[in-house]
Chains A and B, each alone.
Chain A
Amino acid sequence: MTFVHPWLLLGAAAALIPLLIHLFDRRRPRTVPFAAIAFVLRSQRRTASRLKLRRLLLYALRTLVLLALPVALARPELRETAARAQAGHGLAATAIVLDASLPMRFTDGTSLFERGRALALDALKDLAPEEPANLTLCGLGAGPPASPGFERARMHAALEEAQPTYGGADLNRCLELAAKSLEDSPLPNKRVVVVSAFTAPSLRLDLPPPTLQGPKGEALRVEWVLKDAAQGRAALPNHAIVDLKVEAAPQVAPRAYQYTFTVRNYAAEPVKDLVALLKVGDRTVAKGFLELPAGGSVQKSFTHAFETGGVFSGRVELAADGLAEDDARAFVVQVPHDIRALVVNGAPNNVRYRDEAFFVDAALSASNSPVHETLRDAESAFHETFEAYDLILLLNVRAPSPEVAARLAEFVRKGGGLFISVGDEVEPDAYNARFGDLLPRAMRLPKTAALAKDADADAKAAKFGQVDFGQALFTIFSGKAQEGLMSARFYRYILLESADLKAEGESAQVLAAFDDGAPAFALARRGRGRVLLYTSTVDRTWADLAIRTAFLPLLQRACALLTGSLEEHEELRATVGDTVALKGDAPHTLSAVKGPSPRTVPLRTEPNGQTLVGPLAEPGLYQPLDEKGGAMPALGFAVRLDPAQSDLTRLKPEELTAYFGEGAVKQGGASEQERRTPFWTWLLVVAAVAFFLEGLLLRRG
């Protein structure tokens, strides 16, 4: 029973008035000497019991009037749930489906899931003892429910322990599984109680509603009971980060990254001055404000430069709303360390601009360059300890001795990068002989496309013909930058053996070729390292690439590529519910993956040696651990929510009615289906009757 104006119940204290009057009213009686007192005594004795009963009746009636009136004015209503009301319709096998998807985490003090849990418990309580039931938690990884049974305590415990997931709910499938589970029940009636917030992404109305078949294949009617965890709220206002891109921003700083995120407002009202934060670790490094239009989205970028290289994790956060989970997006960024490069100048020249390493030196020593170069001539360079460097650039260097070649091969196999450019000092046969398989492809003869001094040299010179801009080396070239690259002229270059004439490792590939098809850049992975062969010169002797604007970023990019920085920047894009394969050699030593919560993340190794992690149940940062339990930062990754689940647009009651049919019982909505009996009218009738009887008693008395 509930009251429309509960404060009026205070008036019920008036019911004490008759009692108080009885207790405290001590009026002095009028004293009368009376001759016929014997008759008074006799009358009093005769009527004493009757008068006592009458007084009690009067007291009760007056109390009833004074109690019924304020209670009636408080407008009491007897509420009876529709489910309870339907209990009389016959026993039914019942499947309770509780939505445990991300939208159920929406809270306005109490989460929708908590409300849903209470509704599901109510549904469980409303069941008759003879009604079998089962429970489906419809969220991430929901499976078919057990057959309906009578283990109420276990279902109750399961509901009490249930937690919402971070994934979406495929209500259509959950309802189908729940309905199917009722088919074997001998009871003729089947009921499915659905507890959900009924958001648009959770239930596809374009799919047919689940149906049931009897043992003879006949269609069975399902009684749908829809319990609205959102209690009829027309809208669940929400905004969310639906996208985040983390990109290097070398134009800002050597280790600068740009964080571009998209925020969508699903509410019908605009949002002003929404605070957005960029956090690296626990430190806020950038802050901004957003103006979100109603139902629209806004893109915003933060830039942050790291002081050192390494693996960093962080979050982009918005001021939290009802669904706080989608107001943050984690990321992992691997900032390349400074590259220690040994530049081996094969053709030094006293005239600086004619020096083989002049343009390379200029490019690598630019202010934003991540490369720390050490410039040596060939003789002294080969006495260096190669392990002290990440990268060795052989610029038009004569073929080294077999010993040096072996050291270089070992350097590469251990993970070092080797850049080879050619020129007049390079003898293809000698290179082929000394380096052998270390080269991406064996060299053939030099080819002269034009002589630089010719008047029509530019016309005859070779140009880039095919460039794989999808490769990390060239991804930065777009628009005018691409034009700058493609305008380079190559007068002479060394041809390489074709792929079928030389055993080529799986990892060898041509990244760019001249317009005659001859490879310009060939890349090969050798052991843990890489070798990039450029078939022309890095000075102006054979080509003018060195004086093109594309040369500096191209060379820096090549350094990054050879040291593995570019590859590691490829973000592992994983969504809640996914199972991901970890890349690289490290998974072989993987022992566990630590997620955002202490919960264990499932981990398994495929026969091909690939390590699969997942399904990933939570959004946030995941940190793989090695066999000793140590963190492996390079393999860390972030898991995001499915942006579609942030759309909390509510399905309309009429849409649900159209989907489930007119017979569907809706509860908890604005059009509350509880049966309300206006009890107060009966109280008024009782008060009136009591008042009438009181008057009658007084008159007769």
Chain B
Amino acid sequence: MELLDAHTLSRLAGVKLRSRAVMEGVLSGLHKSPHQGQSVEFAEHKEYAPGDEVRHIDWKAYGKLDKYYVKRFEHETNLRAFLVVDSSASMGFRTAALSKLQVASTLAGALSYLLVRQQDAAGLAIVTGERISDVPARSSPSHLATLQETLEALEPRGTTDLFAAADHLAEKVRRRSLICVFSDLLDDRPDALRRIFQLRARKNDVAVFHLVDPAELTFPFDDPTLFLSMEDDRRIEVNAREIRESYLEEFQGFLDTVRADCAQADVDYVRVRTDQPLDQVLLAFLARREGSRR
């Protein structure tokens, strides 16, 4: 598969990726730094609170107002992004042109290209069951090739383990970063997604790309069907037509729950049908982030 095909890249060329929140970075760029005081552009005064650095206290304002104020500055900084790709066996399900894993790889590749292109650092974490393999975040153009080769080599296997992914990222991501999770989220454990949300609580900017196959949305089976699990040995023979209504209710409930939980946790949620144009997915995602920044 050729990732980042010309059509997709030409549609993304004019878009500048901006992080929604002020990120801590070392590289100047299009992003605003979360570190006040290092930039030349004064932003505002803030009443001193314990925990603020003493060196940022504006003594002139103290002299005039007899209160401690801290000066805050806007500062351009570079973005550090981690792209987490779920490569469990269920991601290999495909009824459209691309499997969920292929779509996830494409999206991750495109994002990494954009990030590196604007001199942001992009890293990669591949989740295969409990096993996590990652590529450190770097911003050099040569790093892009490494990322893409890694994505290119992905094979679906193992189980979906969001716990493992979350734990790995919590350990690896020391600074505030953009974390994009590409997964079908089919982890039966009830609080698996909450573990991802904890990354957001640690000031990271988290986006969840929820990959859904059209067959999972429509359940287009009629005859007696033997369904086999792609991650373990579960199997069930049912008359698909008889349970379609119930399945669709269950699955829609799952989608709604995920969306609601993400909104509640201030996590960006992007549902990706594997048969929809991927450039539109990225454009919509980037546009939404741009809008929220302004």
Q: Smallest CB-CB separation from B238: which chain A residue?
A: A44
Cβ contacts under 8 Å, B278 to chain A? none
What per-residue 1/0 map shows which CB atoms of A511-546 lie under 8 Å from chain B? 000000000000000000000000000000000000
A34–B93 Cα distance when bound, in Å, is 7
B243 within 8 A of partner (CB): yes
Cβ contacts under 8 Å, B186 to chain A? 35-36, 38
Given contacts A36-B251, A39-B254, A701-B241, contact A47 B226 (CB under 8 A): no
A35–B226 Cα distance when bound, in Å, is 13
**A288-320 interface (Cβ within 8 A of B):** none
B283 within 8 A of partner (CB): no
Q: Smallest CB-CB separation from B227: which chain A residue?
A: A34
What's the nearest-Cβ distance from chain B to residue A695, in Å? 15
What's the nearest-Cβ distance from chain B to residue A265, in Å? 77
What's the nearest-Cβ distance from chain B to residue A644, in Å? 81
A32 within 8 A of partner (CB): yes
A42 within 8 A of partner (CB): yes
Q: Is the interface of B mostly helix, strand, loop or mixed?
A: mixed
A27, A31, A34: the one contacting B230 at CB < 8 Å is A34
Cβ contacts under 8 Å, B223 to chain A? 27, 29-30
Cβ contacts under 8 Å, B249 to chain A? 43
Cβ contacts under 8 Å, B239 to chain A? 51
Cβ contacts under 8 Å, A701 to chain B? 241-242
Q: Smallest CB-CB separation from A37: which chain B residue?
A: B229
A595–B224 Cα distance when bound, in Å, is 87
Give the interface residue-count category, chain B: 20 to 34
Cβ contacts under 8 Å, A54 to chain B? 242
Give the interface residue-count category, chain A: 20 to 34
A30, A33, A40, A46: the one contacting B236 at CB < 8 Å is A40
Find out whether the CB atom of B228 lies under 8 angstroms from the CB atom of A34: yes
Find out whether the CB atom of B243 lies under 8 angstroms from the CB atom of A29: no
Find out whether the CB atom of A27 lies under 8 angstroms from the CB atom of B250: no
Given contacts A37-B236, A38-B186, contact A32 B224 (CB under 8 A): no
Cβ contacts under 8 Å, A41 to chain B? 234, 236
Cβ contacts under 8 Å, A40 to chain B? 227, 236, 238, 243, 247
A46–B250 Cα distance when bound, in Å, is 10
A147–B227 Cα distance when bound, in Å, is 84
Find out whether the CB atom of A30 lies under 8 angstroms from the CB atom of B243: no
Q: Smallest CB-CB separation from A54: which chain B residue?
A: B242
What per-residue 1/0 map shows which CB atoms of B54-90 lie under 8 Å from chain A? 0000000000000000000000000000000000001
**B221-260 interface (Cβ within 8 A of A):** 221, 223-230, 234-239, 241-243, 246-247, 249-251, 254
Given contacts A35-B184, A37-B234, A40-B236, contact A30 B225 (CB under 8 A): yes
B224, B229, B251: the one contacting A27 at CB < 8 Å is B224
Question: How many A-B contacts at CB < 8 Å in the complex?
Answer: 84
Cβ contacts under 8 Å, A35 to chain B? 90-91, 93, 100, 184, 186, 213, 216, 230
A41–B226 Cα distance when bound, in Å, is 12
Find out whether the CB atom of B228 lies under 8 angstroms from the CB atom of A37: yes
A424–B101 Cα distance when bound, in Å, is 166
Given contacts A29-B223, A30-B223, A37-B234, contact A43 B228 (CB under 8 A): no
B188 within 8 A of partner (CB): yes
A157–B226 Cα distance when bound, in Å, is 72
A219–B246 Cα distance when bound, in Å, is 79
Find out whether the CB atom of A46 lies under 8 angstroms from the CB atom of B246: yes
What's the nearest-Cβ distance from chain A to residue B232, in Å? 9
Q: Is the interface of A mostly helix, strand, loop or mixed?
A: helix
Cβ contacts under 8 Å, B238 to chain A? 40, 44
**B149-188 interface (Cβ within 8 A of A):** 184, 186, 188
A34–B234 Cα distance when bound, in Å, is 10
What's the nearest-Cβ distance from chain B to residue A65, in Å? 21
Find out whether the CB atom of A32 lies under 8 angstroms from the CB atom of B226: yes
A54–B251 Cα distance when bound, in Å, is 23
A230–B28 Cα distance when bound, in Å, is 120
What's the nearest-Cβ distance from chain B to residue A617, in Å? 81
Find out whether the CB atom of B243 lies under 8 angstroms from the CB atom of A32: no
A131–B237 Cα distance when bound, in Å, is 67
Most buried by B among A27, A33, A42: A33
What's the nearest-Cβ distance from chain A to residue B178, in Å? 27
**A651-701 interface (Cβ within 8 A of B):** 701
Find out whether the CB atom of A33 lies under 8 angstroms from the CB atom of B93: yes
A44–B245 Cα distance when bound, in Å, is 11
Find out whether the CB atom of B228 lies under 8 angstroms from the CB atom of A29: no
Cβ contacts under 8 Å, A38 to chain B? 186, 188
What per-residue 1/0 map shows which CB atoms of A38-64 lie under 8 Å from chain B? 111111101100010010000000000
What's the nearest-Cβ distance from chain A to residue B238, in Å? 5
A36–B213 Cα distance when bound, in Å, is 10
Find out whether the CB atom of A33 lies under 8 angstroms from the CB atom of B224: no
What's the nearest-Cβ distance from chain A to residue B218, in Å? 12
Given contacts A35-B230, A38-B188, contact A47 B213 (CB under 8 A): no
What's the nearest-Cβ distance from chain A to residue B92, in Å? 8
Find out whether the CB atom of A47 lies under 8 angstroms from the CB atom of B228: no
B93, B184, B215, B246: the one contacting A47 at CB < 8 Å is B246
Given contacts A38-B188, A43-B247, contact A32 B100 (CB under 8 A): no
Cβ contacts under 8 Å, B224 to chain A? 27, 29-30
A40–B223 Cα distance when bound, in Å, is 14
Given contacts A29-B237, A32-B221, A51-B243, contact A39 B227 (CB under 8 A): no
With contacts A35-B91, A37-B229, A43-B243 known, what are 4 further pairs, Cβ within 8 A?
A: A32-B227, A39-B247, A39-B250, A40-B247
What are 11 A-to-B residue pairs whose CB atoms are below 8 Å? Answer: A27-B223, A32-B225, A34-B215, A34-B229, A35-B184, A36-B216, A37-B235, A39-B247, A40-B227, A41-B234, A51-B243
Q: B interface vs A, CB < 8 Å? A: 90-91, 93, 100, 184, 186, 188, 213, 215-216, 221, 223-230, 234-239, 241-243, 246-247, 249-251, 254
Top 5 nearest A-B pairs (CB, nearest first) are A35-B93, A43-B246, A35-B90, A29-B224, A43-B247
